[in-house]
Amino acid sequence: MEPTACVPLSPLLYCYHRIERCDLENMPELPDLTVYKEAIESHCAEDVLEQVRLKSPFLLRTVEPPISAVFSKTLRRVSRIGKRLVFELDDELFLLVHLMVAGRFQWRKKNSGIPGKIGLAAMDFSSGTLLLTEASSKKRASLHLVQGTESLHMFNRGGIEVLEADLAAFSQALKSENHTLKRALTDPRLFSGIGNSYSDEILHAAGLSPLKRTLQLDSEEIASLYESCRNVLAAWTERLRAETGSGFPSKVSAFREGMAVHGRYGLPCPVCGGAVQRIVYIENECNYCPSCQTGGKILADRSLSRILKGDWPHSLDELEDLMNRHTSVPGE
């Protein structure tokens, strides 16, 4: 129920009520894309790509070479550049797909039709059809076709691969700019393949505040963050591999059962039992546990704290007190 003049909700509860209904977005990240890559290779590597059918004219973002150039070419391997999957074909032809938020792959029998509202394209291989769909009114997924390995450089934002980097390289990237940790981990110029979801999980595992500045970290905290990055990304990749098995990923989501804090606003932290909190941005969110990461402090949301001013809670105790004072709403 939306607050009205006859329902005297506090500004705090009103804002929290509105936040609960935000349509927050996240895109597939390194673990999801790794499993997609492996599944696609297992289903159609060394198969002939007979044709590509495009349903949406806005999906293809390049003109030269023409899409017909890949017809009858063999798929040699699939790799990843940041959050793009790269299909490497004969004659140094590369199809690059960015799924953005709602783009997904489906494996179907050969020459399957492209779904109505969500279908974008179909890649018809000799062994089956790889469908590209996007379940969103905002069509953001993209397809680029380029030729030559040099042409791939324009898609590399420069971020290091954490699972391949040593501590020194990680530390250098982290300290190259003075950002908040949340922003640094999700910056593709610094780190490749990490986004909103897994950055929350990494910071929780490291016990670090998402708003702590990169240049404020000591060597011990940097080492802890490095290990957390590697452990979280590797563990979730293995978990998704196990779920997929020899099949094809069917439930790629940014909100997964078993995550510690991401998508768990208001639910108990699996470590300490305290309520998970969050900061909401325009299209995504930052989730964290105050007890485990911020010494019990509730981090100020830019918009909410500006509205609430003196009413903004600075600790879990203050938040609980405010919520308790307003849980009884007249007329309900």
Give domain status of residue 162, yes or no.
no
pLDDT of 4 > 80? The answer is: no
**Could you say which DSSP state residue 165 is in?**
-
- 187 vs 146, 199, 239, 332, CA distance in Å? 25, 10, 25, 46
Q: Give the burial string for 248-279 (b: 16+ CB within 10 Å, else e).
A: bbeebebebeebbbbbbbeeebeeeeebbbbb
- Phi then psi dihedrals of residue 5, to 5 deg: -65, -25
The average pLDDT across 1-29 equals: 44
pLDDT of 5 > 60? The answer is: no
pLDDT of 188 > 80? The answer is: yes
Say which range, 37-41, 98-102, 280-284, 310-314, has the weakest mean pLDDT: 310-314
pLDDT of 327 > 90? The answer is: no
Give domain status of residue 299, yes or no.
yes
- Same-domain status, 177 and 141: no
The average pLDDT across 276-299 equals: 88
Instruction: Quote the pLDDT of residue 139.
Output: 85
- Same-domain status, 182 and 131: no
Provide the 10 A C-beta neighbour count for residue 170: 21
- Same-domain status, 51 and 143: yes
Per-residue pLDDT band at 67 (split at 50, 70, 90): very high
Number of domains within the chain: 3
Q: Which residue has the higher pLDDT, 216 or 56?
A: 216
Instruction: Quote the pLDDT of residue 320.
Output: 52
Per-residue pLDDT band at 3 (split at 50, 70, 90): very low
Per-residue pLDDT band at 137 (split at 50, 70, 90): confident
Last residue of a domain, one of 191, 211, 244: 244
- Encode pLDDT of 49-62 as tens digits: 999 999 988 899 99
Give me the percent of the chain exceeding a pLDDT of 70.
82
Say which range, 148-152, 156-160, 225-229, 319-323, has the weakest mean pLDDT: 319-323
- Same-domain status, 235 and 275: no
Per-residue pLDDT band at 307 (split at 50, 70, 90): very low
- Same-domain status, 240 and 176: yes
Helix, strand, coil percentages for the chain (3-state, nearest 5): 35, 20, 45
Q: What is the mean pLDDT of the chain?
A: 85
pLDDT of 312 > 80? The answer is: no
Per-residue pLDDT band at 25 (split at 50, 70, 90): low
The average pLDDT across 22-39 equals: 82
Contacts of 85 (CB under 8 A, 6+ apart): 33, 36, 37, 40, 78, 79, 96, 97, 99
Per-residue pLDDT band at 11 (split at 50, 70, 90): very low
Provide the 10 A C-beta neighbour count for residue 175: 15
- Same-domain status, 64 and 93: yes
- Same-domain status, 37 and 146: yes
Per-residue pLDDT band at 229 (split at 50, 70, 90): very high
CATH classification at residue 187: 1.10.8.50
pLDDT of 172 > 70? The answer is: yes
Give domain status of residue 3, yes or no.
no
pLDDT of 20 > 80? The answer is: no
Identify whether the C-beta of residue 209 lies closer than 8 Å to the C-beta of residue 294.
Answer: yes
Q: What pTM was computed for the model?
A: 0.84
- Same-domain status, 103 and 144: yes
Structural domain for 287, as ranges: 11-24+259-325
Residue whose C-alpha is closest to residue 22's, from 282, 201, 256, 200? 282
The average pLDDT across 84-108 equals: 96
